[in-house]
Amino acid sequence: MEPGEPREPREPGPGAETAAAPRWEEAKTFYDNLAPKKKPKSPKPQNAVTIAVSSRALFRMDEEQRIYAEQGVEEYVRYQLQHENEPFSPGPAFPFVKALEAVNTRLRELYPDSDDVFDIVLVTNNHAQVGVRLINSINHYDLFIERFCMTGGNSPICYLKAYHTNLYLSADAEKVQEAIDEGIAAATIFSPNRDVAVSQSQLRVAFDGDAVLFSDESERIVKAHGLDRFFEHEKAHENKPLAQGPLKGFLEALGRLQKKFYSKGLRLECPIRTYLVTARSAASSGARALKTLRSWGLETDEALFLAGAPKGPLLEKIRPHIFFDDQMFHVAGAQEMGTVAAHVPYGVAQASRRTAPAKQAPPAQ
Ligand SMILES: [Mg+2]
């Protein structure tokens, strides 16, 4: 008999009374297994680490985008309705969200009553009719996303604040820029050019340093005076912590959850691992980066100083679920080598980009 297959009812016979208890247990187990897997309740947003993802970050919608661009909104909605029962393919944020949920499972085992977990919110300006296909897709992949925010074409920024968002990931660079300008940690997420398998059980997050975890104050010196002056400056200011950058708060949130594993003696088996991947060189300018993190009471599990070498090959070895950088050059290099990379539009490196923005008005973020 297959597990879960209904059993034939047995005739009560001699000794039925004594056998009743185990049979009842058996039946209860059987029906418990039949019931849908009990999902945990949503945590309170102010306690959780809230990750807002857009529909195009979570799922691939290339064909739908093409229909929207070529045939307009009516045809787009019609297509979505016709394909309502067909789940979307996973998008660039999908493995990241899966890894967040794997961490949540471990946290709930260790701290069953705590709200200190990741809470994933789907933020989209899609047409309400498309919502059913999104819900179907979420259920198809067994994702735990209870909060939906359908903004009906409005900017998601005020919702992001209301949800106490710790990180916002979108495929729409304009929305991300708006969020960054409002002081919300945000990044435009890009699919890798090829697939690289990522860990199912350990969340790995890689950060650039300057203009991501740190402010862009040192990068301004490189741009204005060149690398030699930058090295001198960083050496001279080694003990002066850098100001914080847009993603510092997210690293802090990851650190807070990591400590929950450490306090249970699970430092080595911690299902969250963080990486600093910086173009700084260890000898000349690395100390200031590390001392800054230390001054904040933060650390990354690994710190990799590339001294200007390309980041892509190293990221290919780390296999993070997401890598954040403020320079499109590094984002493209990471993508090339199979890493999901996210662009943080902050700091002096954006100056040239902002003068010639690529305008596009997609239907969904
Ligand atoms: Mg940088």
Q: Is the pLDDT of residue 242 over 90?
A: yes
The beta strands (E) that lie in the chain are given as 49-54, 59-60, 89-90, 118-124, 147-150, 165-170, 186-190, 203-207, 272-278, 302-305, 322-325, 341-343
CA of 113 to the centre of ligand 1 (A): 39
Q: Return the residue matching tokens 């679920």.
A: 321
CA distance 310 to 330: 8
Split at pLDDT 50, 70, 90, the class of 7 is: very low
CA of 212 to the centre of ligand 1 (A): 6
Q: What is the pLDDT of residue 356?
A: 39
Q: Is the pLDDT of residue 112 over 60?
A: yes
CA of 277 to the centre of ligand 1 (A): 9
The four Cα atoms 252, 254, 256, 257 give a dihedral, to 10 degrees, of 170
CA of 326 to the centre of ligand 1 (A): 5
Q: Where are the alpha helices (DSSP H) in 195-277?
A: 217-225, 227-236, 248-262
3-class SS at 105? Answer: helix
3-class SS at 342? Answer: strand
Q: Which long-range contacts (CB under 8 A, 24 or more apart) does 45-48 make?
A: 45/119, 45/163, 45/164, 46/164, 47/114, 47/115, 47/116, 48/115, 48/116, 48/117, 48/118, 48/119, 48/164
CA angle 294, 313, 293 (to 5 degrees): 5
CA of 66 to the centre of ligand 1 (A): 33
CA of 162 to the centre of ligand 1 (A): 29
Q: How many CB atoms lie within 10 A of CB 12?
A: 11
CA of 182 to the centre of ligand 1 (A): 20
Q: Which residues contact 311 (CB under 8 A, 6 or more apart)?
A: 208, 277, 279, 323, 325, 330, 333, 334
Q: What is the pLDDT of residue 351?
A: 72
Q: Return the residue matching tokens 């009374």.
A: 17
Higher-pLDDT residue of 365, 330: 330
Least confident of 48-57, 140-149, 351-360: 351-360
**With pLDDT > 90 as the criterion, what percentage of the chain qualifies?**
69
Q: Return the residue matching tokens 């045809």.
A: 75
3-class SS at 214? Answer: strand
Q: Which residues are catalytic?
A: 208
CA of 14 to the centre of ligand 1 (A): 78
Residue type, 345: P
Q: Return the residue matching tokens 């662009």.
A: 343
What's the pTM value of the predicted model, to 2 decimals? 0.85
Q: What is the pLDDT of residue 19?
A: 47
CA of 307 to the centre of ligand 1 (A): 12
Q: What is the pLDDT of residue 361?
A: 38
For the chain, give percent helix, strand, coil, nearest 5.
Answer: 45, 15, 40
Kindly list the structural domains of the chain, giving each domain's residue range(s) and its CATH number in brackets, ordered by start.
49-189 (3.40.50), 203-347 (3.40.50.1000)
Per residue in 148-178, pLDDT (tens digit) is: 888 877 788 888 988 889 999 999 999 999 9
CA of 188 to the centre of ligand 1 (A): 15
Least confident of 28-32, 180-184, 190-194: 28-32
Split at pLDDT 50, 70, 90, the class of 282 is: confident
CA distance 347 to 196: 30
CA of 300 to the centre of ligand 1 (A): 16
